A and B are shown apart, each in its own frame.
Chain A
Amino acid sequence: MKILVVDDEADVQPLFLQRFRKEIRNHEIEFDFAQSGEEALSYLKDKRQEVVLILSDINMPGMSGIELLTHIREDFPTPPPPVVMMITAYGDEENYKQAMDKGADDFLTKPLDFNLLKEKLKTL
């Protein structure tokens, strides 16, 4: 299962790689990373079919996570649509509602609870 993580903070990458160390080693999960919404979109143009899940930060300079979500829903409508989970430090009602309205599948807050994330991954 390939997961694309979009976050402007580069240190998110080793964190995911270590948290999912066993899963990666067992080839259950594979990670790719993008540091901006724009980068994520160009990545998806080539590899849309490989990616099962997109985890995106909302609050990024330039294209925000919400805009990225909108683009994904518009640009890649062919079923099955990719699962998109939004992550944000601002876990307020307004943010949640906006993300859900734009078609997010789930909404997670920072600091990320990796055990919870793992549980959610099992149901995919």
Chain B
Amino acid sequence: MHFFSFLAAFLLALRISRAIKFTALHQKWRMILRISAGVPIVLFIIFNERLSDDGVLIVAGIYLLLFIEYLKKQEDFKSFTVLLNAHYPLVAAGIISGIVGVTLDSFYEKWESFFVCAQLASFLWIFLRLSTSRKQQQELRRINERKDELEAMVAARTAEITQQKNELQETVKELQATQAQLIQQEKLASLGELTAGIAHEIQNPLNFVNNFSEVSMELIEEMEEEMAKGDMEEANAIAADIKQNLEKIRHHGKRADGIVKGMLQHSRASSNIKEPTNLNTIADEYFRLAYHGLRAKDKSFNAELVANLDPNLPLINIVPQDVGRVLLNMFTNAFYAVHQKQKIIGGDFKPRVEVSTKVIGKEVEVIVRDNGSGIPDAIKDKIMQPFFTTKPAGEGTGLGLSLSYDIIVKAHKGHINIDSKEGEGTAFVITLPLS
């Protein structure tokens, strides 16, 4: 029984060597483990001849202890701790049996079977532990496999989600592009509505330019005649008229110029730059453009245009094109509403659209009021929504009020309130902060 500890050390070295055979540790530890397996055999051969059985027991126990302690210090064999610990009973049983055998020979004789049993039991204990630890390791391996599986699944899911995220981002980008396009279309649509109004507004000043220059040519001939006759007083009067006419020509030229510039500004993408602006000028300009726009489409349409513009209105910081578009939209809607009512009621109805501006505290209030068909309660909540329109298909984009809301509320920190009674009329109240 005195060789158990050597046998255990030998088997331990073999077992570990086999366990790491197909791992990265194999190369590193191969030689050391081979030597460790050989050492017990060599020691047994050397000491078996020279020492008593008890002496061999002590040497073998000490060797086994040293071997275990050495292995336990190695980081690489952490997973074998259970197996290594299982050897301690054998170490203890061997060394104690040896020491007792050497020092208390008679006592040992008497209890020999007990000591042998202890050694045998602790030797068997190793195998018992080994089989359970093997099960544990199998379990561990299974858990590891399961973990790998789960990790693979998580990775797959993550990839899937990432792809979905990218697709969504792509979609959002596309939607944003579409939105920009729609806004541009809405601008062009409202420009289309304006075209007739613009043509009329330009035609008028152009007529004046033509008429005044023609009449001025005639006047110069007359002036020459008067001068030939020697009537200098009359000639001077005519000269004054001519001068006045040239001023009128310039005035109406500038008027046409301003309208063309306004038109270009309307269709151009907004610069988004706020600048001190005279709201009255914009309101007045778009008021007439919107009216003539509808007038040109339907010759029978007529409305009373009332402008109550506060002459003391200070310049306010706004993006003129954007706010102009909002007003144009309000005017177009108002004219549309009174026109609809006129179509239904007929001759007795007097369409009236009014724009007013005034300063209230730290805000400017612009009211566009009509006596048209009004907004039914059922749709009051919807009219600010994009793509909502009551106009027949193809006539409205449904973006006018929605964009107006964005411009006034989001971009200018203002408000839009609607006061409407079905059948009686509508007032859109726009408030913009003064500073």
Binding site for B on A (CB under 8 A): 9, 11, 14-15, 18-19, 21-22, 59, 61-64, 66-67, 89-90, 92, 94-95, 98, 110-112, 114
CA distance A11 to B208 in the complex (A): 8
Report if A15-B295 is in contact (Cβ < 8 Å); known contacts: A61-B305, A110-B207: no
Closest to A64 in B: B302
A14 in contact with B245 (CB, 8 Å) = yes
Known: A21-B219, A62-B304. 14 other contacts (CB 8 A): A11-B248, A14-B241, A15-B211, A19-B211, A21-B222, A62-B305, A63-B304, A89-B204, A92-B299, A95-B299, A98-B300, A110-B204, A110-B207, A112-B207
- When distances are taken between beta carbons in the complex, the residues of chain B under 8 Å from A90 are 200, 296, 299
Tell me the count of chain B residues lying within 8 A, CB to CB, of chain A.
Answer: 28
Report if A98-B299 is in contact (Cβ < 8 Å); known contacts: A11-B208, A61-B291: yes
CA distance A6 to B198 in the complex (A): 23
B210 touches A (CB below 8 Å) = yes
B299 in contact with A15 (CB, 8 Å) = no
In the A-B complex, the 9 residue pairs with the smallest Cβ-Cβ separation, listed nearest first, are: A111-B207, A61-B305, A64-B302, A62-B304, A18-B215, A94-B299, A95-B299, A15-B211, A110-B207
- When distances are taken between beta carbons in the complex, the residues of chain A under 8 Å from B204 are 9, 89, 110
A-B contact pairs, 11 of them (CB 8 A): A14-B245, A15-B212, A18-B245, A19-B211, A19-B215, A19-B218, A21-B219, A89-B204, A94-B299, A110-B204, A114-B211
- When distances are taken between beta carbons in the complex, the residues of chain B under 8 Å from A9 are 204, 208
Closest to A90 in B: B299
CA distance A11 to B249 in the complex (A): 10
- When distances are taken between beta carbons in the complex, the residues of chain B under 8 Å from A95 are 299
CA distance A31 to B295 in the complex (A): 29
B203 touches A (CB below 8 Å) = yes
B295 in contact with A59 (CB, 8 Å) = yes
Chain B 245-263: CB-based contact to A (< 8 A → 1; otherwise 0): 1001000100000000000
Distance (whole angstroms) from the CB of B413 to the closest CB of chain A: 34
B106 touches A (CB below 8 Å) = no
Distance (whole angstroms) from the CB of A88 to the closest CB of chain B: 9
B244 in contact with A111 (CB, 8 Å) = no
CA distance A11 to B209 in the complex (A): 11
B219 in contact with A18 (CB, 8 Å) = yes
- When distances are taken between beta carbons in the complex, the residues of chain A under 8 Å from B241 are 14, 18
- When distances are taken between beta carbons in the complex, the residues of chain A under 8 Å from B222 are 21-22
Distance (whole angstroms) from the CB of A26 to the closest CB of chain B: 13
